[in-house]
Amino acid sequence: MELKVQMAHYTHRMEEALDAALPLDHAPAQVEVLRAMRYSLLGGGKRIRAQLALGLCEGLCGDATPALPAAMAVEMIHAYSLIHDDLPCMDDDAVRRGRPSCHIAFGEAMALLAGDGLLTQAFSQLSGEENLACIGAERALRQISVLSEAAGAYGMVGGQVLDILGNHRTREDLENTDRLKTGALIKAAARMGCIAAGASLDTEQAAADFAGLLGLGFQVVDDILDVYGDTQALGKQTGRDAELQKVTYLSLLGLESARAVADALHNKAVVRLDALPLKNRFLYDLTELLRTRTH
């Protein structure tokens, strides 16, 4: 199947499941926080982390279904991180995915709680009956372990701390932050897809290596697009890194070298895919799409 068609298919399946996972009518008193959660979770986005989990699972075992709860969980954590990242106490961004950020639409208190609600709901998805019935308790527990480690202080939250402290002097400093802030969750998505497929530990490690490189490459492209991207296509304000005086690959290396680093990381990532017993080309094509993306 053509890449874009396959991606749209994965996104559709996952968004239907996300919609069903957060009904408004089950908790009328809490409807405002649920609205805020749904606003951010179902309001677009490229769904790259979900694509990785679903694509790896289908590529390895021939069926994406076992990875659906993992794809939902990782997108919930990602949505929470974007809500909190946009708050005035963090990056203070008013636009996200082409719409007012969650705290602009719902107020700061509700946005904070919506983020908390999504973070918690992610683990409810992984420990829920559907996941247990599909992949068994042992594998579900491994997914929970992988995701909680990646999202917490030793992963994404830790990376956000380094980003806020902003003590970046060298490319190594930057890489360390990005490996945690952006890469950890992308890696977790890949590993959870492998676990869902019942893959071996060697395969899971190879997929993690691939995703680690992809995650770093993704962040370098993100830095480039923050300066050279189109606000409309990106759905968020550009030029924020400079305004926030952030050191990025672009500010450290300049456009040509930053582009070369991004290309090299994506090329290295593709080579790692060769170590995986994949039944289709989806991840190769996805990696190429991410290398050349404009939003």
Instruction: Tell me which residues touch ligand GRG (CB under 6 A).
Output: 45-46, 48, 78, 81-82, 84-85, 90, 97, 156-157, 160, 181-182, 219, 222
- CB-wise, 121 or 203, nearer to ligand GRG? 121
Query: Considering the complex, what minimum distance in angstroms separates the CB of residue 193 from ligand GRG?
Result: 16
Would you tell me the crossing angle of helices 48-61 and 3-21 to the nearest 10 degrees? 110
- CB-wise, 49 or 139, nearer to ligand GRG? 49
- CB-wise, 120 or 200, nearer to ligand GRG? 120
Q: What are phi and psi of 107, to 5 degrees?
A: 90, 155
3-state class of 47 per DSSP?
A: coil
35 exposed, middle or buried (CB, 10 Å; 0-12, 13-18, 19+)? middle
State the Cα–Cα distance between residues 95 and 45, nearest whole angstrom: 13
Side-chain-facing half-sphere of 215: CA atoms under 13 Å: 29
| Amino acid type, 264 | A
- CB-wise, 45 or 193, nearer to ligand GRG? 45
Q: What are phi and psi of 149, to 5 degrees?
A: -65, -45
Query: Considering the complex, what minimum distance in angstroms separates the CB of residue 181 from ligand GRG?
Result: 5
Query: Considering the complex, what minimum distance in angstroms separates the CB of residue 222 from ligand GRG?
Result: 4
Contact 88, 137 (CB under 8 A): no
Best CA proximity match to 195, nearest among 129, 122, 139: 139
- CB-wise, 142 or 179, nearer to ligand GRG? 179
Q: Which residue is nearest to ligand GRG (CB)?
A: 45
Structure tokens at 226: 């923050």
State the Cα–Cα distance between residues 195 and 152, nearest whole angstrom: 20
Structure tokens at 205: 């490690």
State the Cα–Cα distance between residues 159 and 165, nearest whole angstrom: 10
- CB-wise, 189 or 199, nearer to ligand GRG? 189
- CB-wise, 157 or 227, nearer to ligand GRG? 157
